[in-house]
Structure 1
């Protein structure tokens, strides 16, 4: 009876507590919450038996905001930039690499760098329905799904009953996946006889974090397996919002310890949560390049992605994912022109690769601080630079220099204003 209760609790938590906490673009209902590729993989890793100290690495461990790993060649960096990807450090023995690549769960979704030392994946893009189903199918099949395209794995998902004709999203494999839709297919996945699963190590030894096996006999479902892994006490702990964050987010857990040490045992760790967690901001940029008037129109999207802690100060911060609706971009910037052929260099010898437009941060757009001064459009123009090791950095450039060196002149910038938001 205890195992049955435990199983029901863990499935309820996964689908009703854990997923909403981690989902990116939350507003008021599950149908409005969009999941990232990282979130999707983390949930599936939990579904096949990985514990928190393993799969939180996929989200947290050594993900670089800048392309600064020296083993990446120039073309690899350019390709990764076009895919809006983050770089994930994952040498052959590192945990994150195993988490992503083992058993081919993310097969074909990653690109290896030189000497197989690094991998990149578009972690923070919203996951598509066919991608989520591909991750699941690769867990269920030992070899059949490896090397198959998304169209093929989508058909395999149909055959297995992961997706059904009665589903409203049945005919839309390319659609961005919402939380409510993910719940539907994830519950079906948990009822499947297990394929790849994670066998917990006897100790939390560095080299034993990931111990995947394949159940040739399909001896039990993932549901049945989870009922053997989770205890009632473990589930009860996860019911608490703060405990949930401490368990899954090492940054917040470490930050909490620092705050607790500063303010005493009874200090209440306060998570301020924005009332509005997702918003769109249409914009229109008009500029001139070598006498030609050009216009860029798109929509900035801001999605709440939980909290992070600046450990040295024990300061709790909101994490915002800022994206463009219709344009590949990186770190809140998009390319205006590629100037790699200009052979221009900075004063310290870095090669100038492109001129980019940096359009602001989520804290500004989402009303995190009403006292934030509206950024000046003159501050939005930057240059992307590469040093001798192909490490990327960004530097401000004055409007006069942008015009004199690259023929760029900003004419107009129109953007929807920041929203008024409440943090409770």
Structure 2
């Protein structure tokens, strides 16, 4: 009797474990299969672009100018559960710098200007999507041990807290790209 009870408990434990696995894995498996079977997005006709820009700003009453070039390159096809398959783009600055840094406050905080997305410059946002540069707002990145936050800092707060004012943003317009 005891042996029969043990095997019944074992059977139901196994059944419960299988049910939990199916319940938690099944949706992700369907999502994975669905995304993987989607066709790849069309390849861009233009896969490389250079976009010179000039940012003029004032920090503590002193005028500064940053001249650089945003370099954008096609980086293949990416996949995620939100948008399925999509064209990936990578970007870098010709200067070799990581960001368009306005002020490094300390080891944990940096104020920078985000020149925009490579999708925007390479003509991959489509006709219906509107893109707006953040000018005269900037961005702030804060590192707190394990976490990094990256957010927009409005122009009034930028002026008030860091004595920075963005004056002028001249950039190269995006290209007209085609995809086939």
What is the DSSP-based 3-state SS (H/G/I as helix, E as strand, rest coil) of the residue aligned with 2:135?
Answer: helix
> Highest CA radius of gyration, 1 or 2?
2
1:321 — aligned with what? 90
1:280 — aligned with what? 50
CA–CA distance in structure 2, aligned partners of residues 405 and 306 of structure 1: 41
1:289 — aligned with what? 59
Question: CA distance change for structure 1 residues 420 and 385 in 2, over 3 Å: closer, same or farther?
Answer: same
Conservation of the 8 A alpha-carbon contact between 1:255 and 1:314: no
Conservation of the 8 A alpha-carbon contact between 2:54 and 2:169: yes
| Deviation >4 Å, runs of 4+ | none
Question: CA distance change for structure 1 residues 364 and 398 in 2, over 3 Å: closer, same or farther?
Answer: same
| Structure 1 unaligned blocks of 5 or more | 1-253, 262-267, 342-351
Mapping for residues 379-394 of structure 1, pairs under 5 Å: 381-387=138-144, 389-394=145-150
1:335 — aligned with what? 101
Conservation of the 8 A alpha-carbon contact between 2:75 and 2:88: yes
Give TM-score scaled by structure 1 length.
Answer: 0.33
Say whether 1:305 aligns with 2:75.
Answer: yes
CA–CA distance in structure 2, aligned partners of residues 379 and 255 of structure 1: 41
| More helix per residue | 1
Question: CA distance change for structure 1 residues 413 and 269 in 2, over 3 Å: closer, same or farther?
Answer: same
Question: CA distance change for structure 1 residues 366 and 260 in 2, over 3 Å: closer, same or farther?
Answer: closer
Mapping for residues 66-215 of structure 1, pairs under 5 Å: none
Please state how far the C-alpha of 1:256 moved relative to its aligned partner: 7.1
Please state how far the C-alpha of 1:380 moved relative to its aligned partner: 5.2
Give TM-score scaled by structure 2 length.
Answer: 0.75
CA–CA distance in structure 1, aligned partners of residues 32 and 167 of structure 2: 47
| Structure 2 unaligned blocks of 5 or more | 1-29
Please state how far the C-alpha of 1:270 moved relative to its aligned partner: 3.7
CA–CA distance in structure 1, aligned partners of residues 133 and 82 of structure 2: 29
Conservation of the 8 A alpha-carbon contact between 2:55 and 2:67: yes
CA–CA distance in structure 1, aligned partners of residues 83 and 110 of structure 2: 36
RMSD after superposition: 2.3
| More strand per residue | 2
What is the DSSP-based 3-state SS (H/G/I as helix, E as strand, rest coil) of the residue aligned with 2:96?
Answer: coil
Once the two structures are superposed, what CA deviation does each residue of 1:219-251 show, in whole Å capped at 9, x if it has no partner? xxxxxxxxxxxxxxxxxxxxxxxxxxxxxxxxx
1:109 — aligned with what? none
